[in-house]
Amino acid sequence: MSLAKRVFELHQIEQAILSQRNQADEIDLRLNHNSAYEKAREELSAAEQGEADLEGKYKELDAEAEQLRNNIQRINDKLYGGKIKNPKELMSFEQEAAMLKSNLVPKDDLLLAMMERLESRKAEVQRLQELCKTIEAAWNKEKPELKVEREKVVAEVAKLEKKRKEIAEDIDSSALSAYEGIKGRKSQPVVRVEQGKCMGCRVTLSISELQRVRGMSIVTCSNCGRILYLS
């Protein structure tokens, strides 16, 4: 087997290792993050905050309405208690009661509307709570399978790393150094020669280049600098 072909095999192994490591990273991401769950949690948090804000406003308005009711009751007690005989004083209390009642009506209407909104918010919060539980349950069910899958990937990486080491040890240091240098500049440092062309840059090689590629030494393309090999 030519040295260039061996270097090509090394690059293939390294690409396979990279692919497996990327797969392990994806599994880790799926184990630690769930976009659907995170989105549902964000929506739930916003809904809960909205419910709390609305409930606070409702209680504040209800306290104001209750104060009005107490004041109306206090005036009614005076009006119908039989203690006030003065007509002007009675009229004054009646006017005050009428004013308080006119102030109470819009508050009661607003309270009713807010109660409906609050019930709707509570229903939305409950829906999102159930959604979060459903997504979390499915996620927890998936995790053991993901962990098993990750273990397989890690085992495959170890296997490939061992094979890479064996191939690297079979390549002389100068060829390995040349490969590492080109790999730092090119994503595809080793390419085939097909029909007299470098498959990295598609330039036709000279006869002398083709002859050297058929040998056992490392040959690079004079145009793109990649290592060439014949399959």
3-state SS, one letter per residue, for 184-221: CCCCCCEEEEECCEECCCCCECCHHHHHHHCCCCCEEC
Is residue 161 domain-shared with residue 185, that is, in the same domain? no
Domain with 192, as residue range(s), is: 174-229
Tracing tokens 């040998």 back to the chain, one arrives at 215
Is residue 39 domain-shared with residue 145, that is, in the same domain? yes
Is residue 180 domain-shared with residue 144, that is, in the same domain? no
What's the pLDDT score for residue 29?
Answer: 96
Q: How far apart are CA 36 and CA 186, in angstroms?
A: 38
* End residue of a domain, out of 130, 150, 169: 169
CATH code assigned at 129: 1.10.287.1490
Q: How far apart are CA 113 and CA 58, in angstroms?
A: 10
Q: How far apart are CA 141 and CA 5, in angstroms?
A: 45
Is residue 94 domain-shared with residue 179, that is, in the same domain? no
* pLDDT lower than 50: segments of the chain: none
What's the pLDDT score for residue 215?
Answer: 82
What's the pLDDT score for residue 115?
Answer: 96
Burial of 177 (0-12, 13-18, 19+ CB in 10 A): exposed
Residues in the chain: 231
pTM score, whole prediction? 0.70
Is residue 121 domain-shared with residue 216, that is, in the same domain? no
Total domains in the fold of the chain: 2
Is residue 62 domain-shared with residue 165, that is, in the same domain? yes
Is residue 109 domain-shared with residue 189, that is, in the same domain? no
Is residue 107 domain-shared with residue 41, that is, in the same domain? yes
Amino acid occupying residue 148? V
What's the pLDDT score for residue 111?
Answer: 97
* End residue of a domain, out of 169, 188, 213: 169
Q: Is there a contact between 229 and 1 (Cβ–Cβ < 8 Å)? A: no
Closest by Cα among 214, 217, 218 to 231: 214
Bridge partners (DSSP) listed for residue 197? 194, 204
Is residue 155 domain-shared with residue 183, that is, in the same domain? no
Is residue 49 domain-shared with residue 65, that is, in the same domain? yes
Q: How far apart are CA 137 and CA 132, in angstroms?
A: 8
What's the pLDDT score for residue 1?
Answer: 58
* End residue of a domain, out of 169, 190, 216: 169
